Chains A and B, each alone.
Chain A
Amino acid sequence: MTPGAVTTSAEAAVAEAFRQEWGKIVASLIRMTGNWDLAEECAQDAFAAALAKWGSDGVPDRPGAWLTTTARNRALDRLRRSKTEALKLQEVAVLSVPEEPAAWGDSGVSDDRLRLMFTCCHPALTLEARVALTLRTLAGLTTAEIARAFLVPEATMAKRLTRAKHKIRDAGIPYRVPPAHLLPERTTGVLAVLYLLFNEGYSASAGGDLMRPDLTGEAIRLGRLLAVLMPDEPEATGLVALMLLQDARSAARLDGNGELVSLEDQDRARWDAAKIAEGITLLEAALRRQRAGPYQLQAAIAACHAEAPRAGDTDWAQIALLYGELRKFVPSPVIDLNRAVAVAMAEGPEAGLALVDELAADGGLSSYYLLPATRADLLRRLNRRPEAVECYRTALKLAPTEPERRYLAKRLAEVSG
């Protein structure tokens, strides 16, 4: 092997170890030291040492163990050399903490990364802080990368992360998987952060910055980890299934000009069959536990679309049923509107229109452009053109972005003509 090849394979090994081990190392160092900044810095040092050493010494048999030991020794070293009493006390704590604690408390879950996930997603932190902390400490994205992903200056993101870490320390946010009585609501919070992360990546505008980190990929990776660590939580598995089924469509979502393509018009040959297959397998595994929840139901709706070879084959009756179940968990007029669309597809535009009119009478969606847009579409299909024109005009006034306005204007021209 040439020296160049050795370096390259060592670099590849470090990159792979970073993906696999970063969160684990940071998580265990936080548990040992209670010091988030120290944990991150020492993890960083360990990876720098790996880059320097693995090329000449070879990649160790257990890269994770090598990195963990290196990071831990580095932490001890820094605590020893520090002058302050508080840090000296932390050193004693590090030496007395076992690599993995023996008792897990009443939640029965044992991974440091899970503690880290729950702490990062604590409800006493702002949502922005939860997302940023999760990306920094668990996924190992740099502050600069996170700042770019959320289109804020790096200094702003650095401040946000620092403030969140200080709040965790100063307000006494515990570093643990919550006890059983808090676990359900806190798990919902963790799932919400991961799904938000996914959507930040998924709904991003076309083109985009090449340096932009792959948020959907990170969300799926963290979701998988959560699902593995919480095998008794079908919603965690359901979320991974949902993200995979949505992500499977990403290549077909934009046309050559970067315009959004509606689900109906997407080229289904461009959907990722492997992701769909995995998503459906995971969803089935989750559903077998017979504890449905909003993520499993949304995944089931996504699966109905994914399983239809052509748009016309979609099982709309099943989708309408699933939206009906979903609204029991997440009462929202937006879900009702989606259900109305599914009913219109399954039973005809008249049945859908009746539901849409009920929603319009409730007034909860009065400023939401999709309500008049849906109504317009149903009226168009019923050949009630003057009313359809009226509704398209209302929708045009409310539509928030240019591509949506273009789409509506096109439809308006069609029914007016």
Chain B
Amino acid sequence: MRYMLLMCGDEAAPHDGPLPAAEGDEAEPCWMPWAREMQARGVLLVEGSQLQPVSTATTVRNSGDEVLVADGPFAETKEQILGYDVIECADLDEAIYAASRHPVALAGGVVEVRPVLASV
């Protein structure tokens, strides 16, 4: 099955925000150990990325002929979507394991696990 892992957390929290980029050329990004572990378990990482901070978000909706554009995320809450990963694995237990081992979860963030409607 295919699942999207939505990484949620408080950007402002010290250990909860976007993960620091690796420093120097040879240092590996913090998600690399996770990616290796998942690969070893047979969990396919389809795609995924960290997102720019919520301050860069733009919300778009249609109202009649008009396109309404607003600054900010669709819901003003303390916890925001920090990034996402799309994985393919056997079942929800595998997806839960993958979520629990993700660096955002290890740093105190919350991961929402959502099955993707049409698994390719």
Which residues of A come within 8 Å of B, CB atoms? 122, 124, 170-174, 178, 182
Contacts and interface: CB of A to CB of B under 8 A. Distances in A.
A172 B96 contact: no
B93 A178 contact: yes
Interface of B: 1, 3, 90-93, 95-96, 113, 115
Contacts of A173: 91-93
A256 B42 CA distance: 64
Contacts of A122: 92
A66 to B, nearest CB: 34
* Minimum-distance CB pairs A-B, first 8: A174-B91, A172-B1, A172-B91, A172-B92, A173-B92, A171-B115, A171-B92, A174-B93
B56 to A, nearest CB: 31
Nearest to A174: B91
A182 B92 contact: no
Contact of A182 (B3, B93, B115): B93
A173 B93 CA distance: 7
A131 B47 CA distance: 37
A170 B115 contact: yes
A390 B92 CA distance: 54
A321 to B, nearest CB: 37
A149 B95 CA distance: 34
20 contacts: A122-B92, A124-B92, A124-B96, A170-B115, A171-B92, A171-B113, A171-B115, A172-B1, A172-B3, A172-B90, A172-B91, A172-B92, A172-B95, A172-B115, A173-B93, A174-B90, A174-B92, A174-B93, A178-B93, A182-B93
B102 to A, nearest CB: 17
Nearest to A124: B92
Nearest to B115: A171
Contacts of B90: 172, 174
A122 B113 CA distance: 15
Nearest to B2: A172
Contacts of B115: 170-172
A178 B96 CA distance: 13
Nearest to B95: A172
Given A171-B113, A172-B92, A182-B93, 6 more contacts: A122-B92, A171-B92, A172-B3, A172-B95, A174-B91, A178-B93
Nearest to B3: A172
Contacts of A178: 93
A124 B90 CA distance: 16
A171 B119 CA distance: 12
A204 B15 CA distance: 46
A392 to B, nearest CB: 43
B101 to A, nearest CB: 13
B6 to A, nearest CB: 14
A189 to B, nearest CB: 13
A178 B3 CA distance: 20
B43 to A, nearest CB: 13
A186 to B, nearest CB: 9
Contacts of B92: 122, 124, 171-174
Contacts of A174: 90-93
* Most-contacted residue by chain B among A122, A124, A172, A173 (CB, 10 A): A172
Contacts of A182: 93
A178 B92 CA distance: 12
A173 B90 CA distance: 10
A95 to B, nearest CB: 23
A313 to B, nearest CB: 49
Contacts of B96: 124
A170 B1 CA distance: 10
A171 B96 CA distance: 11
B3 to A, nearest CB: 8
A178 B91 CA distance: 12
A109 to B, nearest CB: 16
